[in-house]
C-alpha cells in the first residue's frame, strides 16, 4: 500500500503536467496556423 500511496499521486501529477504541456504546444501551433491563414487571405 505504501507503493500505491507514493506512486499513484506522482503518476497522476506527471500525467497532468504532460497533458498541460501538450495543450500549450497545441495552442501555440493552432495560433501560428490561424495567423498564417489570416495573413494569406486578404491578399
pLDDT digits (tens, 9 = 90+) for 1-43: 789 999 999 999 999 999 999 999 999 989 888 888 888 876 5
Q: Is 26 exposed, middle or buried (0-12, 13-18, 19+ CB in 10 A)?
A: exposed
The predicted structure's pLDDT at residue 23 = 95
Instruction: List the chain domain ranges.
Output: 1-43
The predicted structure's pLDDT at residue 37 = 83
Rounded CA-CA distance 40/11 in Å is 44
The predicted structure's pLDDT at residue 43 = 55
Within the chain, residue ranges assigned H as helices are 2-40
Rounded CA-CA distance 1/13 in Å is 18
Rounded CA-CA distance 40/30 in Å is 15
Amino acid at each position: 500500500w505504501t507503493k500505491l500511496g507514493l506512486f499513484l499521486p506522482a503518476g497522476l501529477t506527471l500525467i497532468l503536467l504532460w497533458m498541460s504541456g501538450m495543450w500549450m504546444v497545441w495552442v501555440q501551433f493552432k495560433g501560428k496556423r490561424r495567423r498564417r491563414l489570416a495573413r494569406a487571405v486578404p491578399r
